[in-house]
Homo-oligomer: A and B are copies of this chain.
Amino acid sequence: MIGNDRIIKFCHDNLVIDYLGVDVVERDGAIVLELTVDERHVNLYNICHGGVLTTMADTAMGAECLRLGKKVVTMSLTIEFMHAVSFATKIFTRARVLHNGRKTMTCECEMLDAAGKLYAKVHAIFFVIETLEE
């Protein structure tokens, strides 16, 4: 298992995460990406663009793969949107690994607010490009 310090650094190595103003924090031992929606993130309806949520989820799932010692690239990703994320809403990720294969991994990620409301759910398959020594 890779430590949280290293996972947080990994998330920030995705420069787009910092550029979009996404925070990466540890909460109850888990790594969480969170974002308060502002002018940078919205579409024409003044709600968070789905691509921003996808960026967060993709990174959060990659972080969970890293926790298990796998460096991965995304092969496919599906996102289902259930509610619009309004301007000024604070949203965060909850990602987990469903299948930790030798060559591929399957993950999912929920996008939630502090009240536990589910805004979107994401599923993805990753290709393992490197297995790390711990």
- A-side residues, CB < 8 A to B, are 10, 13-16, 19, 39-45, 49-52, 54-59, 73-84, 98-99, 101, 103-104, 106, 108, 118, 121, 123, 125, 127
Contact = CB atoms under 8 A, between A and B. Distances in A.
Nearest to A121: B98
Contact of A49 (B16, B84, B108, B121): B16
A111 to B, nearest CB: 12
A14 B43 contact: yes
30 contacts: A13-B44, A14-B42, A14-B49, A15-B39, A15-B41, A15-B42, A16-B40, A16-B43, A16-B51, A16-B52, A45-B73, A50-B54, A50-B55, A51-B58, A54-B54, A54-B55, A75-B76, A76-B78, A76-B79, A76-B80, A76-B81, A77-B78, A77-B79, A78-B123, A80-B125, A83-B99, A98-B121, A99-B118, A108-B121, A125-B125
Given A80-B76, A98-B121, A123-B78, A13 B50 contact: no
Contacts of A75: 75-76, 80-81, 104, 125
